[in-house]
């Protein structure tokens, strides 16, 4: 399949360790945030979302933290597995933008066995 | 799998030509959004269709146009192709405007 993110920031972690991927956003009007995972040759896959009235949300092995004061979003993956290797994008939108998503630049996560 | 399909998977066009890309939404989804993803970058919003009407548009020139059909499938048309149009084109469908967007696998367009 094609390569996604040839020159993206890369996070390399050992299998079983926790991963933290960070994202900064600039629009203070943003009120809905999503993390997507994109594997080579595939479209972005929804992981977890959070609205601006929350600062933390947990899913299965994933947690999203939102700090509106500094406009920062993070994705934490517990017990990282080889199947987690992919490019991760944060995306944001706001009420007046309908459903238009603005994506960040992405981070490549590499999991070492 | 998201249930969103796109065709073709890959295609190669020459500068100046026109191209049509197709997207079938997940069953029951009435909103389709199109994104362009250049290599090494995040997707950029092109436009969105809701119940056959354009509902929003990103910073793309008029030579990028679209359609949504009564069955909510969609087309992206690009006229007068330029080399910089080479990218992965993604469509995403959602149930209503505020719903989560589910992406298809994309169409890789190469303009030579």
Residues of A with CB under 8 A from a CB of B: 2-8, 34, 36, 41-46, 49, 89, 91, 97-106
Cα B112 to Cα A44, A56, B13, B33: the distances in Å are 26, 46, 6, 26
Give pLDDT tens digits for A3-49. 344 457 999 999 999 999 999 998 888 899 999 999 998 999 999 99
Task: For residue A10, give the 3-state DSSP assignment.
Answer: strand
Would you say A4 and A100 are in contact if contact means Cβ atoms under 8 Å apart?
no
pLDDT confidence of A60, banded at 50, 70, 90? very high
Burial class (CB in 10 A: 0-12, 13-18, 19+), B92: buried
Minimal Cα distance from B48: which residue of A?
A100
């Amino acid at each position: 399949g094609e390569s996604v993110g040839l020159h993206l920031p890369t996070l390399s972690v050992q299998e079983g360790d926790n991963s933290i991927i960070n994202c900064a956003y600039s629009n203070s009007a943003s009120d809905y945030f999503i993390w997507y995972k994109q594997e080579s040759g595939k479209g972005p896959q929804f992981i977890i979302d959070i609205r601006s009235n929350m600062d933390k949300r947990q899913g299965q092995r994933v947690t999203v933290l939102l700090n509106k004061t500094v406009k920062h979003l993070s994705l934490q993956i517990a017990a990282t597995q080889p199947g987690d290797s992919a490019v991760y994008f944060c995306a944001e939108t706001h009420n007046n933008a309908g459903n238009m998503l603005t994506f960040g630049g992405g981070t490549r996560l590499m999991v070492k066995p | 799998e998201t249930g969103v399909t796109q065709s073709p998977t890959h295609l190669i066009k020459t500068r100046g030509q026109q191209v049509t890309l197709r997207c079938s939404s997940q069953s029951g989804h009435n909103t389709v959004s199109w994104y362009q993803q250049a290599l090494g970058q995040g997707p950029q919003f092109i436009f969105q269709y809701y119940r056959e009407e354009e509902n929003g548009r990103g910073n793309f020139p008029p030579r990028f146009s679209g359609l949504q059909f009564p069955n909510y499938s969609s087309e992206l048309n690009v006229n007068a192709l330029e080399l910089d149009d080479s990218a992965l084109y993604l469509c995403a469908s959602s149930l209503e405007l505020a719903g989560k967007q589910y992406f298809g696998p994309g169409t890789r367009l190469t303009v030579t």
